[in-house]
Structure 1
Amino acid sequence: MILKNILYICQTTTKTKKVNSKSHQIISFFFFLICATFYAQNVQIDSLKRILGGTKIDTVKVNQYNKIADLYKEIDPDQTFFYAQRAIVVSLKKEYHFGLATAYVNKGNASIILGNYPDALKFFKDAQTEFKTALEKETNKKRIKSGLARAYASSGVVYSEQSDYTSSLKNYEKALKIYQEIKEQTGVSKTLNNIGILYKSQQKYPKALQYLKEAYKIQTAIGEQNAPMTLTNIGVIYFELGEYQNAIEYYEKAKAGFSKNNNKRGFALLNNYLGDYYKEQNNFDLANESYQESLALYEEIQNKFGASLALYNIGLLLQEQKKYNEAIHYATKSLEYAHEIGVLDQTFHSEELLSELYQSTKNPEAALLHYKNFIIARDSINNQEMTKKFAEAEMNYEYKKKEALLSEKHKREIQFVIFSILGGLLLIVLGLVVYNRMQVKRQLTLKKDLAEYEQKALHLQMNPHFVFNCLSSISSFIVQNGTDSALKYLSKFSKLMRLTLEYSKGSLIPIDKEIESLRNYLELEQLRFENKFEFEIHSSENVEFNVGLPPLLIQPFVENAILHGLVPKEGKGKINVDFDVQNEQLICTITDDGIGLSESKLLKENSVTAHQSMALDITKKRLKIMESITSKSARIEILELNSNKQAGTKAILYLPVQYIS
């Protein structure tokens, strides 16, 4: 059954003319790869079974089951399934992923031998999954990676048999990458060799030569036994390219290699290729010698398949030399072996050759008989090939369908993972942004609090300054006006002080209270200076009732207008205090018709100047702090009025609009 499954992979022909023997030699090559020395394997199996009987550790048992399953695959695939299943049961129980993966590989190999390619692919896929899991959980990484590479390479073999060369190459390349990573040179050379043969089957000879030569280089370095076979394949490619000199050079190298490793099957196959070469060169003697040596080697190892092929090639050679009777002898023997081992393909070719030979010897009855047998064999092969193609097409369709579904599922899983990761990253970024905003807000709050404390400190500096000035005014007033007037003045002063102290605790004072405070102060100063001036305080309708401003901010400018502008002036003067809101700014204007800034400086009243300088410096600091708190402009302008109609000074404060909550 094994031989039949192997042989039916090969292509057949319906032509009735002479057939080139190369295709049959390729069949032999695959046959040699699968055949093994059954006796040696049985000895190994018996030895492993004895060891298994005394094993108590479950993981060791699994490894023994897998070794036995591997040895059975070429003798009895059913036994491979049996022992691999035992390995699976124990591996699942112990969560031994490496043992489970190896068992799947064994089942896959057995499925290949039985020609069940869809099952083989499924087992290899399962093996790949388990090897990847083992990489995450187990420590012996190199052993696991080697198994994973083997699973990929085995998938490549299956795809190659299904003529899906793209998928085959993809899996071989994955295997090659892993073997190179773990520096497993034997695996590297075998995979390179498989890729070379894959390209050879597609007649992509330059690529095939590249990989086969690279494989041979490694095989030579590590002393691998299959090196002569690689040389043989290289020689075959050169032969098919018509580069006969290169072909014979590699055949000779292969011959030297086979003589050292005693690989009789490989040497027998090489002699078949040598026979083809010499036949092409019309050197029939050397061709016959090579074919005869191939036949002798096959007979020695009792390989009737190879012997049938060698006999057929000798028959073809004798036919070309018109030695028909001798050719009939060899062709008949070839047909006997083909019948004996049940190789329908070789039967087909041998029957065709015999029909032609009997036709040449003027024996029409025998020629007709063999021709009929040739037609029967051809039809059987064609039917089997057609059935196989339909079966393969159906299996490929089902497999592709399942693979597409799995691919779509895998794609969705990957998308879910990607979106989950992106979602997680987004949450982290949002968290960082929120945290950063909280930190910034906290810092701004601290800065604002600090600015407010500084503002209050400046308020506290203004209070004693204001009180000192008021007390000086009272002292002067008492001296100049007597007791009764002083009592009236003190009454107004106490009212002003209560109002000032009450609102100096906060950072803002309502505008109406500020106006009330300014009115009280101006009335005191009017009393002190015996109505030396008049005043007006005006607030536009743009100013809302809950607008606020820092306390004692306007008073120093009113005081300066009285002392430095109006008192030195001859005659009666006037002060105007106006409040307005424009472009989201509170504009406070203090205007007097006094002597003006320039004239005031000339008087050089040092004590008053000192007071003015202190109050003005403090006010400028307060305005800067107000800017930092509100992030809006706060400034002051002091202008001298020197027109013909009016002289004096105008102080304008531009403040951000703030509201009392």
Structure 2
Amino acid sequence: MKNYSIYILICFVFGWNMLLSQSQNNALKFNLKGRVEVRDTGRPISGVSVSNDMGVFVVTNGLGEFEITTRVGDHLIIEHNDIETLWYDVEKKDDVLILVEGFESSPTNRSNSLPDIASRHQQLLDDAETFMAKDIEKSIDLVAQSIAILGKRGRKKELARSLSKLGEIYQYHKQLDLAIDNYEDALENNKTISTSLLLGRAYNLTSRFKESIDLLNPLLKVKTMVPNQSALLYELLGDAKKGEGKTKEAIDLYNRGLLIAEKNQNTSKMIDLNSKLADTYSIENQSMEAEAYYGNSLQLATQSEPKRALQEKEKVADFYNTKSRFNEEINMRKSSLQELEKLNAPNVGLKKLELGDTITSQRINYKIANAYISQDKYNEAIPFLEKSIVEADSDDDLVVQKDATRKLSEVYKVKGDFTKALDTYQTYVALVDSLYVRKEQEISRANRFNREIASAQNRLTGLEQERELSQSKYELALTEQELVKESNKRQQLVIYSLILGLLLTLLAAFFFYRSNQQQKLANNLLALKSLRSQMNPHFIFNALNSVNNFISKSDERSANRYLSDFSTLMRSVLENSEEDFIPLEKELQQLELYIKLEHSRFEDKFDYQINIEENVQVAKFQIPPMLLQPYIENAIWHGLRYREEKGELLVTIKENSTDSIIITITDNGIGRKKSAEIKTQNQRKQKSKGMGIIQKRVAILNDMYTDKVDIKISDLQSDGTGTKVLFILKREK
């Protein structure tokens, strides 16, 4: 238990030393980097003086940055003519961001200040939009610049806009995976409805319909969404449901979007939704409904824009084709050719607006020819095929030229004109070879383009990773100023809690120790009581043997006298049987009475003396009851009894020190060695019960009272005769 207490004390001292050591380490100097900027605009403030408790003084540069040698616990003083003096407590070694509110630079400073970051950022994104179709590398580079000017900290909204614009660029150039990655990154930095709609469209284009629905469904609960966004939301959800084959749900969503578009006179969206409703009804083989919605979309498109009307006409013509209404298809496509002629762009392909087709004169002529062939009107088909081939050759459209040439060869073959069929087929074979070479070139260009795109994306990824590494520091800097005092309180709370915990541990250890000692004392008292209860019967048994000896000799007077003395002795022994210690004076009285009894029995065997030195104050010493008796008994029964001549038993008490005395019991009997030799076989097997009890009692009492009694047994003479028992009895302080 003592070791346990020492261990707790060591833990307490060690914990306290750790706290002191940490405090000393925090006082070490280090270089702190920081930046001072306007909270609202993020514009850096130059010429700001920063000083600390050590007297170190620095000034921010043109980027509002500074570096100062300081220590944890120092106070930074931030001063400038145009701002109110600020104080900052240094709690960590991380970079700091000092945000200033209501800063207005003076005329002298304004001319030297950097351009507003927000406006410069937006200008770069606008330029990226301009170059999106013409120069993808230039467009991506402009986005990279827009990210770079944001610095390494904060500005999540601007960063999200840059990433969203980058996604639009990739989506325009059909790099949908990269587009999705950037849209997702943009939403991680700042969730906006516009970016969510862009990502939902990209998911639909890559057939990730479930992800699109999971992303867009929560937006249905947004009450602040503008009508155009709401209509687009229903359209995208309808596209996703149609992609999953849930056409009825898609129709319902399209109709809800159409209702919003009609209410807000959004003609473009009305055309899109009518067209998609027609497509969905067509999938369900509901021709009447499909034709009605196609009619609506075509009418709206005709009133809106000629190019958009042309696209809808081609969609309606494709619908007629699926229903084998070839004459209506032919008339519709001829009308489309007339529209192309009116636009004075018969050979210029319109941009594919995600409707699954490319609208050109050669392709329309090719489709008209196919419609005639489906009716076995080969003579009518041939002029349109020939015109398609000529126009495709003029536009260098090898795909349509190849398909039209092959189809023309088949028509000649069906008509029986095998010569023309063979010539046309040979032309077709040559076109296939040319197309194969071109495809290889296109694949090579595509690979090179993909590498360039990957390189540009890697640059942006590296830039973004650098921002992410510093993002955590930025966020910590924003909250550090508000949490400094709270941090101090928490640190103090931790220290106080640790000290309290150690004190409680020590207190618990003390109570545990005291409880253990009390339990040990109770156990010792129980053991002493048990030993005393064994000692008394042992003594009585030996005394009764002596009485029995007188009776056996018919010595009635001696027996009566012995019994009288014995009863006096027993009364005294029983009175002191419950005590751990009794006055030495009482113990000597009992001892003298016991020796007298034994002397009356063995009168011819020994004489005895009890000598007490005059300077010994017997009354001041305590002794365990019946401690000396077993040794007297051993001296008589195992030493003096076997002498041929009369022996002598001597008990002396003398002073050892001011706090202890020496009690010596000596006899000149046969000695321990010779006594052991003459014992019977049965006696050798048995140990003295009284001596064993005494040894246990002394051990327990010494443990309880700190070595109060010391006993040493030795031979009296060098030849082994006689026995000397030495007691050192300490006085209780």
State the TM-score, normalized to the length of structure 1.
Answer: 0.38
- Structure with bigger strand share is 2
State the TM-score, normalized to the length of structure 2.
Answer: 0.35
- Structure with bigger helix share is 1
